[in-house]
Copies of this chain bind each other. A is one copy, B any other.
């Protein structure tokens, strides 16, 4: 704990260096167009006084904040402990750091917080927002859009209306799911079950769709709803085993779910992969590598998703600042639209 102290202002530095505020400002912001000796004097004064620009004052005139908000809707309370977010945040954080932008984390625990978040975004603290809206009926996307600032979503948002042309970064959930199921088919499995994620999330729906793409006219009893947690995976696995004792493969909507399923399979004496092959989704190392047997899974580069989100957002922010400047070389990846990253199948022992 340290006591407060009046910070030196531009004015003070100017006085000390014997120049005008304008000159100090120039030096502080790069120092072009100021003669060397003066630059030197100012630099020294800044140093001696320990001057640091007041960002509030600066933002007031520049309208830039060099900060972006990351909004995470967390009605389920478990979101934060999820390594998935941790990884995305790492990616985001790295990219923002690269561009000298700050990450402001906005956690919303429910409706009550929405107002606060709305106020914050509208309050002009940040240049843009990265939004993770998990649930189909989440009011957050609309809210953010109303704040009228550059926004990029993490994962395809549930089209709640105003977000139709939202920019988002997502994995190819559907394609990845297809690949997983095809792999199981290639192993000769025919009774392939699927434990879904919570079906109010697009990622879960997309994976289910991918499963169905391959398993046309699948026996509906081979599909059980999970919730992306190990516990949910256990429950669903028990249900499936009950309903379809003859199943010979399981595609779990994520690795956590798969780990739960594995536990139940083992407990019930089914050998994996001999009796039942299992595939997960995510390739969350601490999970996928530690299961017994190790988990074959669909890998998505989560950290890269985060990085990409940040990159897209910053581009949008810059563009906005620059106005409709058309002299940027329209190279590959220069268009500002959603990105869907490919997935890859990682073979380990479970399938």
Binding site for B on A (CB under 8 A): 1-5, 7, 52-57, 59-60, 65, 67, 77, 80-81, 83, 86-87, 89-90, 93-94, 97, 100, 102-107, 109, 113, 116, 119-120, 122-125, 145, 147-152, 165-167, 230, 286, 290, 316, 320, 336
Cβ-closest chain B residue relative to A70 = B105
B55 touches A57 (CB 8 A): no
Q: Can you list 9 A-B contacts with CB-CB less than 8 angstroms, sorted by A residue number?
A: A1-B152, A2-B151, A4-B148, A4-B320, A52-B119, A55-B123, A57-B60, A81-B86, A93-B109
Give the residue among A56, A94, A123, A148 with the most B Cβ atoms within 10 A.
Answer: A56
Q: Which residue of B lies closest to A337 (CB)?
A: B1
Which single member of B67, B80, B166, B230 contacts A90 (CB below 8 Å)?
B80
Q: Kindly list chain B residues whose C-beta atoms are within 8 Å of the C-beta of A119.
A: 52
Provide the bound-state CA to CA distance between A47 and B219, in Å. Answer: 54
Contacts of A113 in B (CB 8 A): 97
Q: A1-B152, A57-B60, A87-B81 are in contact. Are A52 and B123 (CB under 8 A)?
A: yes
Q: How many copies does the complex hold?
A: 2
State the Cβ distance, A56 to closest chain B Cβ, in Å: 4
Q: B56, B165, B166: which contacts A59 (Cβ < 8 A)? A: B56
How many Å from the CB of A186 to the closest CB on chain B?
A: 32
Residue pair B97, A230 in contact (C-beta under 8 Å): no
Partner of A148, one of B3, B100, B102: B3
Contact indicator A1/B316 (Cβ below 8 Å): yes
- Are B97 and A120 within 8 A (Cβ)? no
Contacts of A54 in B (CB 8 A): 60, 123-124
Taking CB atoms, residues of chain B closer than 8 Å to A81 are: 83, 86-87, 286
In the complex, what's the smallest C-beta–C-beta distance from A10 to chain B, in angstroms?
Answer: 13
Q: CB-CB < 8 A to A320: which residues of B?
A: 3-4
Q: Of residues A4, A53, A65, A119, which shows the largest number of chain B Cβ atoms within 10 Å of its Cβ?
A: A4
Selected from B60, B94, B103, the residue in CB contact (under 8 A) with A56 is: B60
Choose one: B100, B145, B152; the contact of A116 (CB below 8 Å): B100
Other contacts beyond A3-B148, A56-B65, A67-B104: 19, CB < 8 A: A1-B151, A1-B152, A2-B150, A53-B123, A56-B125, A57-B60, A60-B60, A67-B125, A86-B86, A89-B107, A97-B113, A100-B116, A103-B104, A103-B105, A103-B106, A103-B107, A105-B105, A230-B286, A230-B290
- Using CB atoms, name the residue of chain B closest to A89: B80
Hey, which chain B residues are within 8 Å of A94, CB to CB?
A: 109
Closest B residue, CB atoms, query A65: B56
